[in-house]
Structure 1
Amino acid sequence: MASSDDGIQARRRSAMAVLAHSVTSDIAERLEAVALPSHADLREAENGLVMVRGRVGGDGGPFNLGEATLSRAAVRLSSGEIGFGYVLGRDKVKARMIALCDALIQAHDHAEAVETQVVAPLRAAMIARCTQRAAEAAATRVEFFTMVRGEG
């Protein structure tokens, strides 16, 4: 049973990474293609602040770096699955859609539809954007070299 739970957790983690980096309108457009079950807000989307912590040199003592805005939401499906959505910034709609996707991924009846119709296309678009940015950066790369002068 633990391996099944680990698989669900890995799928949720992977989907949340994609959804957090996606544009709100893209998520909404993809969610329209999914037959959504009845659901209710467990925690209405809200904005707040979180403390960002850092470490000197990556391994030193932790310190409070500053605050960042965060939006969060929680959604419960009629079948009982609860999804959570957290996103940096002040985008309540995105936080709610992420929470809804998280709950749907946990529901056996909807997990595959969300993966194929929402997460997979957004993941492909994210990879394409990253590849394009890497190609643009590579085009500006400058090769430096040192010539050794022969003395004598």
Structure 2
Amino acid sequence: MAVQTKNSIEERRAWLSLLACAPSNVLAALWSEHGVRPEFEWLRAPEIGGVMVRGRMGGTGAPFNLGEMTVTRCALVLSDGTVGHGFVQGRDKTKAETTALVDALMQTNAAGNIRARILDPLTRQVADAQAARAAKAAATKVEFFTMVRGEDQ
């Protein structure tokens, strides 16, 4: 079993976050273009449940329960013993399965191919969506200024 370094753990967190936030239809399209579906066995078949979402006022206040959120999770193992996990918001078993497969493949020799065909296009799409959202918000920005009057000096 390979020992994960702090750097590899951060990289894994990043790709799992990207996959969890990706639109289902985009992820499904990229996965189908990839074309290779590896052999695997379920450790935990996709199941739908709920989690309690907690928050903090200002990011530093006392934690409080914000409410519940529906999630779908699964875990699988590839034929070579690599384990992949999928944990996504909502009731999308297919997205959870795809996330788990990508997670597992990113821990194998296929990582470069998966990054180029799935993760890099997703990263570009997320960046484009954020830029479009920022541009839309910037269009509504109002500049306020104060003019100095002679008697105020």
TM-score > 0.5 by shorter chain:
yes
Q: Does 1:71 align with 2:99?
A: no
Contact in 2 for aligned 1:34/1:113 (Cα 8 Å): no
**Corresponding residue of 2:9:** 9
Q: TM-score, normalised by structure 1?
A: 0.88
1:11 to 1:34, Cα distance in 2 relative to 1, 3 A: farther
Report deviation, 1:143. Answer: 0.3
Q: Take 1:93 and 1:23, find their aligned partners in 2: how far apart are those partners?
A: 12
Q: TM-score, normalised by structure 2?
A: 0.87
Provide the identity percentage: 44
1:131 alignment partner AA = A
SS at structure 1 position matched to 2:144: coil
Q: Take 1:36 and 1:5, find their aligned partners in 2: how far apart are those partners?
A: 28
SS at structure 2 position matched to 1:142: coil
Structure 1: runs of 5+ lacking an equivalent:
none
Q: Does 1:84 align with 2:80?
A: no
Q: Does 1:104 align with 2:110?
A: no
Superposed CA deviations along residues 100-129 of structure 1, whole A, max 9, x for unmatched, are 11111111x211111111000110111011
Report deviation, 1:74. Answer: 0.9
1:140 to 1:60, Cα distance in 2 relative to 1, 3 A: closer
Report deviation, 1:35. Answer: 2.4
Q: CA RMSD in A?
A: 1.9
Q: Does 1:128 align with 2:132?
A: no
SS at structure 1 position matched to 2:106: helix
Superposed CA deviations along residues 59-111 of structure 1, whole A, max 9, x for unmatched, are 2322222211111111211111111111112212111111111111111x211
Q: Take 1:71 and 1:91, find their aligned partners in 2: how far apart are those partners?
A: 6
Report deviation, 1:138. Answer: 1.0
SS at structure 2 position matched to 1:147: coil
SS at structure 1 position matched to 2:127: helix
Contact in 2 for aligned 1:87/1:94 (Cα 8 Å): yes
Structure 2: runs of 5+ lacking an equivalent:
none
Range moving further from structure 2, 112-121 or 25-34: 25-34
Report deviation, 1:136. Answer: 1.5
**Corresponding residue of 2:41:** 40
Q: Does 1:141 align with 2:129?
A: no
Structure 1 runs of 4+ off > 6 angstroms?
Answer: none
